[in-house]
Amino acid sequence: MDFLHRFSGFGTPAPGGELVANPRVENPLGLQLLFDAPLDLDADALALALRAFHPDLAAAAAELHILPRTNDSPPAVLGLAGWGRHIVKLIGFNAPMPSDAVEACVRPAHFAEDLKQLAYGHVAHVLLYYAGYEQDPLEQYVALGAVAAALARFGAVTTLNEHGRTAIPAAALLPQDDEPDALDVLRQLPIPLIYGGFVKLEVEGEPGVWMRTCGAGRLGLPDLALRAAGHHEGQRTFFLFSRLLDYLRESGRSFAPGHTMQVGDDLYLRLREPAEAEWYLETEGEMLVCEPISADEANQPAP
């Protein structure tokens, strides 16, 4: 069947057959990539890059459809990449991504300023959308991450998650020599690194620094927030949120307002809903605020 029909979800997928996007995927997960040069993509080379990423991708396929240039900056290329149950849509533009979206992701990101300047100066971008048949959102993100890693070999400099308001250098997703399983590395990435985001906020009239996650709802998890004493607690809070979100995902359990927990030798927390005035904690899903309490309070019921 014609590529554009299969890109739009028309057709019947079959093992080893042509790539067919899943038309039932609504509000798909996505990642965005910024390039510091015009797009120069080749379907065969992209397929080879995917196959080299991991043995599970040995049968990966890629198709690209180059679109004619016009004065309206339309997509320059459409593509499908896939293996097994996974299909990823690719939409590429030889034009910068909207600056507000780039700023929202890159400014709070935690990597070197010179790499951020590469992101701000990009000249092309690619949007990736999950369009496959896997139901687990983490596995969907892993598939997106594998395609993003392959595109890092074609000039991508930054990988963004617009929904999570976060970004990382594109090369960070490439497998390293000392990593035995590149897909497993993607599965074990801290959720607030790229599958969700981690943002620090200085709020007028509020002491300290608010730290919160963004986009965890896309994984079926709550976003978390905590008011820290200062920026120096950023790394500690990032790993705290990562551990809590990993626990929820792996255990299948849930948190609720009023729950208390011990999360360190001397750190106890109680969870609550955001106050009405805490507008900066708004999220599309559930938000839980972590408030430090004493050990004695942790053993008492919530007021």
At 7, the pLDDT band (50, 70, 90 cuts) reads: very high
Q: Is 271 domain-assigned?
A: yes
Q: Are residues 125 and 271 in the same domain?
A: no
Q: What is the pLDDT of residues 131-158, one digit of tens each?
A: 999 999 999 999 999 999 999 999 999 9
Residues 209, 231: contact at Cβ < 8 Å? yes
Determine the average pLDDT of the residues in 244-252.
Answer: 96
Q: Are residues 64 and 119 in the same domain?
A: yes
C-alpha–C-alpha distance, residues 60 and 16, integer Å: 9
Of 4-13, 83-92, 169-178, minimum mean pLDDT range: 169-178
Q: What is the pLDDT of residues 173-231, one digit of tens each?
A: 998 876 679 999 999 999 999 999 999 999 998 899 999 999 999 999 999 999 999 99
At 74, the pLDDT band (50, 70, 90 cuts) reads: low
Q: Which residues pair with 210 in a beta bridge?
A: 201, 227
At 13, the pLDDT band (50, 70, 90 cuts) reads: confident
Minimal CA–CA distance to 34: which of 123, 104, 109?
Answer: 123
113 by Cβ neighbours in 10 Å (0-12 / 13-18 / 19+) ranks as exposed
Domain extent for 25: 3-187
Number of domains present in the structure of the chain: 2
Q: Are residues 169 and 242 in the same domain?
A: no
Q: Are residues 264 and 155 in the same domain?
A: no
Q: Are residues 175 and 204 in the same domain?
A: no
Q: Could you tell me whether strands 223-228 and 287-293 are parallel, antiparallel, or unpaired per DSSP bridges?
A: parallel
Q: Are residues 124 and 202 in the same domain?
A: no
The last residue of a domain, from among 165, 187, 209: 187
Q: Is 192 domain-assigned?
A: no
Q: Is 222 domain-assigned?
A: yes
The last residue of a domain, from among 187, 211, 236: 187
pLDDT attached to residue 114: 93
